[in-house]
Amino acid sequence: MDKIRIIGGTPLVGSIPISGAKNAALPLMTAALLTDEKLVLSNVPYLADIVTMANLLAQHGVSLSLPQGKGRSMSLDASNINNLTAPYEVVRTMRASVLVLGPLLARFGAAKVSLPGGCAIGTRPIDLHLKALEAMGAEIDLQDGYIHAKVASRLKGAVINFEKISVGATENILMAACLAEGKTVLHNAACEPEICDLAYCLQAMGAEIQGIGTDTITVTGVEALHGAHHTVIADRIEAGSFAAAAAITGGDVELLGARAEHMTAVIEKFEAAGISVSETARGLRVKCEGRIQGIDIMTAPYPGFPTDMQAQMMALLSVADGASMVTETIFENRYMHVPELTRMGANIVVHGSSAMIRGAGKLRGAEVMATDLRASVSLVIAALAAEGETLIHRVYHLDRGYERLEEKLGLCGANIERITSRQSIKTEAA
Ligand code: EPZ
């Protein structure tokens, strides 16, 4: 398994191109299943999760290309779907696979999708997805770890009241409703920018959707959707992650393509911590000259502070002056990065869903282990500011959500390199 070695202490200075949003690209790829015409997506990040989704769609019969060239475009053609099963060996590696359920059911009237199982950050049930599809007339049967879903004729529009705000459930039902008979109203819908991006693409494909960006989305089903060309929005979590890296090193970095309007809660917290964030013609500039101040953070559904930025902020606040309190309200086990940051000298104590962070002054390099996607990037952020060398194991977690991370950070002066498993075997053998 690859490792990443970082020697900390260099302020990051320069500019970093922000890639397309993973959490927009994944549902957009499943939207291709809703039509027999070609869907072309541009600005698709080249990530492990994108390849996993491509493999999943290909085994359904979608013909597609992986993101090509500078424009990172990929075309998807679902005119020859010949398999309605999403197998366990794929779904267990990437929970977003469950997003094929709504489109397959809506267009073909049947789907067999493995239950995703839990993951490092929580049990992550999909009861909200299934309840909503049943309300639309689907028969759902759970057997031997699979969801067996079918509908006699066509899904019917329904009024759906989500008990909890769920990004995935909103996306699954939004896509299913596009081809359902009649009107579907989603109440308490998630309104993340990635959901808006999906909705705009569905509209371009001929879907009739109102209320985009609000917690009440109304969809009037149509007979069929057609092809379209859609450009994926910039990744606000990647941008926030690199902003934290710039800040913790006392750097000055421009995040090319970052969109401030998608990051208001994150920008507010950066500014409260004494970090300057300003909009530029090309994106966002993050500059940290003085000391970082401790602040309190509570994660919440959009437009609140994103849970996907919690681990990164914890790394940043571990070198702040004073104490900070971080409360995770979305997932029940999203503190796997704490013991690893503690190995680097961070002073963090977890009480239930809250963590108290006392500024530890300087962090020290250490051998640490990535446990999940955002935990792994929080270790990179800490390592960039730590004294000495940090070796991060299991970086395959990182590759799921960050494209060319070492290259992007290296361009700004970071002392970072990837040690591929072949190299490390050679080193050990030497
Ligand atoms: C999406 O996951 C993102 N993934 C996650 O990003 C992100 O952390 C999460 O939304 C919250 O913003 C993608 O978009 C691919 P949820 P999702 O359904 O859809 C509970 C990353 O790092 N819930 O909004 O799975 C659930 O357990 C990843 O890029 C139910 O109880 O999240 C959680 O506590 C990590 N029943 C809460 O809702 C359900 O049926 C929010 O989950 C569904 C969810």
3-class DSSP string for 9-33: CCCCEEEEECCECHHHHHHHHHHHH
d(CA 169, ligand 1 centre) in Å? 9
Q: Per-residue pLDDT for 272 more than 50? A: yes
**Stretch 7-25: mean pLDDT, rounded?**
98
Q: What average pLDDT score do residues 370-379 get?
A: 95
The answer for residues whose C-beta is within 8 angstroms of residue 261's C-beta and 6 or more apart is none
DSSP conformational letter for 157: -
Provide the pLDDT for residue 117: 72
User: How confident is the model over 104-110, as a mean pLDDT?
Assistant: 98
Q: Which atom of ligand 1 is nearest to the CA of 171?
A: 19
Establish whether residue 172 lines the binding site of ligand 1, counting it when its CB lies within 6 angstroms of any ligand atom: no
Rounded to a whole number of angstroms, the CA Rg of the chain reads 22
**So what's the pLDDT on residue 429?**
52
- Ligand 1: which of 119, 147, 164 to mutate, most ligand atoms within 8 Å of CB? 164
Mapped onto helix, strand or coil, the DSSP state of residue 397 is: helix
Share of the chain above pLDDT 70, in %: 98
For ligand 1, the distance from its centroid to the CA atom of residue 392, given in whole angstroms, is: 26
Q: Which atom of ligand 1 is nearest to the CA of 127?
A: 40
Mean pLDDT for 56-62 is 97
Round to whole Å and give the CA distance between 42 and 229. Answer: 8
The finding on whether 122 has its CB within 6 A of some atom of ligand 1 is yes
Residue 427 has pLDDT above 60, yes or no: no
Q: Read off the pLDDT of each residue in 401-408 and give the average, rounded to a whole number.
A: 96
Nearest CA to ligand 1 atom 5: 308
> Is residue 178 annotated as a catalytic residue, yes or no?
no
In angstroms, what is the span from residue 276 Cα to ligand 1's centroid? 30
Q: What is the dihedral of CA 283, 287, 293, 296, to 10 degrees?
A: 10
Overall average pLDDT of the 147-175 stretch: 97
Mean pLDDT for 270-295 is 96
Q: Between residues 56 and 120, which one has the greater pLDDT?
A: 56
Over residues 203-221, mean pLDDT: 98
Closest residue to atom 31 of ligand 1, CA basis: 125
Confidence tier at 421 by pLDDT (50, 70, 90): confident
Which pLDDT score, from 0 to 100, does residue 315 have?
Answer: 98
pLDDT of 172 > 80? The answer is yes
Read off the pLDDT of each residue in 17-39 and give the average, rounded to a whole number: 98
Nearest to 397 by CA among 370, 365, 418: 370
Supply 374's token pair: 């955002």
Average pLDDT over residues 245-264: 98
Determine if ligand 1 sits within 6 Å of the CB of residue 184: no
What does the mean pLDDT of the chain come to?
A: 95
Tell me the three state secondary structure of residue 289: coil
Instruction: For residues 417 and 430, give the distance between their C-alpha atoms in angstroms, rounded to a whole number.
Output: 20
pLDDT at 124 over 90: no
What average pLDDT does the segment 99-126 reach? Answer: 89
Identify the residue whose C-alpha is closest to ligand 1 atom 41.
166
Which token pair is 327?
């409360």
